[in-house]
Amino acid sequence: MKNRSPQFSLNLLPLRFFLVLFFHRLKIHPRLNRLLLKRIMEFDASETQQQRYVRYLSSKKSVDDRALNKYVWVSLSEALPKNSPASRLKVLELGAGIGTMLERLVDWKLLTFAEYTAVDSDANSVGEFRGRMARWAAARGFDFSVRPKNTALIRTQEVEILIKFLQADVYDLLSRENTGRQWDLGIAHAFMDLVDIGVVVPQFCNFIRPAGLLYLTLNYDGETIFLPELHPTLDKLILQLYNQSMDDRITDHRITGGSQTGRKLFGSLMTVDASVLAAGGSDWIVFPASQRYPEDESSFLHYILDTIHTELKGHPALDQTAFESWIQTRHDQVESAELIFIAKNLDLLVRVSD
Ligand SMILES: C[S@@+](CC[C@H](N)C(=O)[O-])C[C@H]1O[C@@H](n2cnc3c(N)ncnc32)[C@H](O)[C@@H]1O
C-alpha cells in the first residue's frame, strides 16, 4: 500500500527535530531526557491524529453533498421562515465539526441573514472551523471579520451571518436551565449516532422555538457495504461486528445512538410530540468515476477503513490474520480505484411542538 498521507507526519518534523536537539544539548539527566523525548513523540502522534480527523471531515463534505436527501432539503427550504436583514434566523448546530454544513447552507442559498451558533466539544475542530471559514469566505469574495466573544461575521450584499464558535459539550449545553426556546432551526449532521438520543432529542427540542424546526441529517441506519465482495462470510462478519461495536459504544459513561440511529429517531421524536415533516435516505455512496475518486474521497475511504481496523483489532470473534489481510486488501482497492462503499443513512426534517 502506498503512503496515504505523508504530509501529516512530515509537517511536524522540523519542530520535533528542533525539540530533540534542544533537549539533547541541555545535557539533562538521561532518564528525564528519555521521558521528554517520549512526550515529544506522543505530541507528534496526537497532532497527526487531529490533522487526520480534520482531513476526514473535509473529505466527507463532497460525499455528504451527494448523499443529503434533496426532497428533505427542499422541504426544509419551504418550511423555513424567510431570512432577511430585518428577520434573521437563529440557528443552533450541534457537533458542527469544521463547519462544512454552514458552508453548504450558504453555498446552496438556504441561509442568507442569520445568527449561527456552532457547538462542538473538540477544541481543534472549533479552531479549524474558524480558520477554514476565513479561507472559505475569502475564496468567495465575502468580507470576513473576527468579532469579540468568539464570533465572526461573514458579509456580502446578499448574505450576513454572525457565527458564534462555541466549544462545549452538548450534554452540558443542553442541560443548562432556562435558555428559552429561542432558536428557529436546530441542526445535527452526522452527529446523533454519537449521543444518547433519548436524552439529547428532548433537550434539543426545548431549545427550539414553538413550531420551530430540527434538521437531523446523515443518521446512520444499520448497513455498510463494501464492493467487490472479497469473502462473503468474512465481509458479513466484519460489518456485523462493526455495527455491534457502535451499539456497545459508551462515551463518557453514556450510551450512544448506535447503528440504527436513523430509525430510532422516529421513536424518540414521538415521545416529545414533534412531527416529522419529511424523511428520506441519505446513503453515502463512494465509487470511482473514470478510474478515480472525486475530490479527496480516497482519504475518506482510507479513514473509514482505519476506523473499522482500530475498532475490531483483536476482536475475539475474528481471525486476526484474515482480518488484517482483509483491511490491507480494501486499502489496496482504494489505491487502485476499485473499492465501492455504501452506508445507509436517513435524513429527517422535524417540526417541534407549539
Ligand atoms: C462525525 S463528526 C461530524 C461533524 C460535522 N457535523 C460534519 O458532518 O462534518 C461529529 C462531531 O461531533 C462532536 N461531538 C461528539 N460528541 C460531542 C458532544 N458530546 N458535545 C459536542 N460535540 C460532540 C465531535 O467532536 C465531532 O466534531
Q: Give yes or no for residue 25 having a pLDDT over 90.
A: no
C-alpha cell at 319: 481471525
Q: Tell me how many domains the chain contains.
A: 2
Going through the chain in order, the beta strands assigned E by DSSP cover: 89-94, 113-120, 143-147, 151-155, 160-167, 183-189, 208-227, 250-251, 254-255, 275-281, 284-286, 340-351
Going through 270-327 in order, the beta strands assigned E by DSSP cover: 275-281, 284-286
Q: Which secondary-structure segment (H or E) carries 42? A: helix 30-67
- Domain contains 228: no
Residue at which a domain ends, from 46, 62, 78:
62
Residue 43 sits in the same domain as residue 171: no
Q: What is the Cα–Cα distance from 101 to 99, expressed in whole angstroms?
A: 5
Cβ atoms 152, 99 nearer than 8 A = no
pLDDT for the residue numbered 47? 57
Task: Average the pLDDT over 270-293 and give the result.
Answer: 96
Residue 155 sits in the same domain as residue 23: no
Residue 117 sits in the same domain as residue 41: no
Residue 73 sits in the same domain as residue 54: no
Residue 23 sits in the same domain as residue 98: no
- Domain contains 239: no
Residue 273: exposed, middle, or buried by beta-carbon count in 10 A (0-12, 13-18, 19+)? Answer: exposed
C-alpha cell at 186: 436546530
φ/ψ bin of 218: left (φ > 0), alpha (ψ from -120 to 50), beta (otherwise)? left
Residue 159 sits in the same domain as residue 90: yes
Give the nearest ligand 1 atom to 95 CA: 12
pLDDT for the residue numbered 216? 98
Residue 75 sits in the same domain as residue 108: yes
Nearest CA to ligand 1 atom 1: 190
- Domain contains 236: no
The predicted-structure confidence for 237-257, as pLDDT tens digits, reads as follows 999 999 999 999 999 999 998
Please tell me the distance between residue 95's alpha carbon and the centre of ligand 1 in angstroms.
3
pLDDT for the residue numbered 35? 56
In CATH, what number is assigned to the domain containing residue 155?
A: 3.40.50.150
Nearest to 352 by CA among 177, 178, 241, 209: 209
Residue 87 sits in the same domain as residue 164: yes
Bridge partner list, 254: 251
Helix (H, G, I), strand (E, B) or coil at 166: strand
C-alpha cell at 290: 473514470
Q: What share of the chain in percent tops pLDDT 70?
A: 86
Task: Average the pLDDT over 40-44 and give the result.
Answer: 50
C-alpha cell at 234: 468474512
Lowest-confidence region among 1-15, 42-56, 116-130, 294-308: 1-15
Nearest to 126 by CA among 164, 167, 154: 167
Cβ atoms 129, 120 nearer than 8 A = yes
Pocket test for ligand 1, best of 105, 120, 215, 217 (most atoms within 8 A of CB): 120
Range of the domain at 53: 6-62
125 phi/psi in degrees, rounded to 5: -65, -40
The predicted-structure confidence for 1-16, as pLDDT tens digits, reads as follows 333 433 333 344 455 5
- Domain contains 349: no
* Chain mean position to CA 247: 18
Cβ atoms 263, 223 nearer than 8 A = no
The predicted-structure confidence for 135-181, as pLDDT tens digits, reads as follows 999 999 999 999 999 999 999 999 999 999 999 999 999 988 566 78
Q: Give yes or no for residue 262 having a pLDDT over 80.
A: yes
Lowest-confidence region among 2-11, 220-229, 267-276: 2-11
pLDDT for the residue numbered 273? 86
Nearest CA to ligand 1 atom 11: 95
Residue at which a domain ends, from 242, 275, 308:
275
- Domain contains 155: yes
Nearest CA to ligand 1 atom 27: 97
Pocket test for ligand 1, best of 59, 98, 101, 122 (most atoms within 8 A of CB): 122
Nearest CA to ligand 1 atom 7: 97
Q: Which residue ranges have their beta carbon within 6 Å of ligand 1?
A: 57, 60, 95-97, 100-101, 119-122, 125, 169-171, 189-191, 194-195
Pocket test for ligand 1, best of 50, 54, 57, 252 (most atoms within 8 A of CB): 57
The predicted-structure confidence for 307-345, as pLDDT tens digits, reads as follows 999 999 999 999 999 999 999 999 999 999 999 999 999
pLDDT for the residue numbered 26? 56
Pocket test for ligand 1, best of 58, 194, 216, 217 (most atoms within 8 A of CB): 194
Residue 87 sits in the same domain as residue 19: no
- Domain contains 195: yes
Q: Give yes or no for residue 268 having a pLDDT over 50.
A: yes
Residue 71 sits in the same domain as residue 191: yes
Residue 13 sits in the same domain as residue 152: no
Greater pLDDT, 245 or 48: 245
Q: What share of the chain in percent tops pLDDT 90?
A: 83
Please tell me the distance between residue 97's alpha carbon and the centre of ligand 1 in angstroms.
5
Q: What is the Cα–Cα distance from 286 to 340, expressed in whole angstroms?
A: 6
Residue 15 sits in the same domain as residue 41: yes
Task: Average the pLDDT over 25-40 and give the result.
Answer: 57
pLDDT for the residue numbered 226? 98
Q: Give yes or no for residue 353 having a pLDDT over 60.
A: yes
- Domain contains 295: no
Give the nearest ligand 1 atom to 122 CA: 25
> First vs last Cα of the chain: how many Å apart?
56
- Domain contains 39: yes
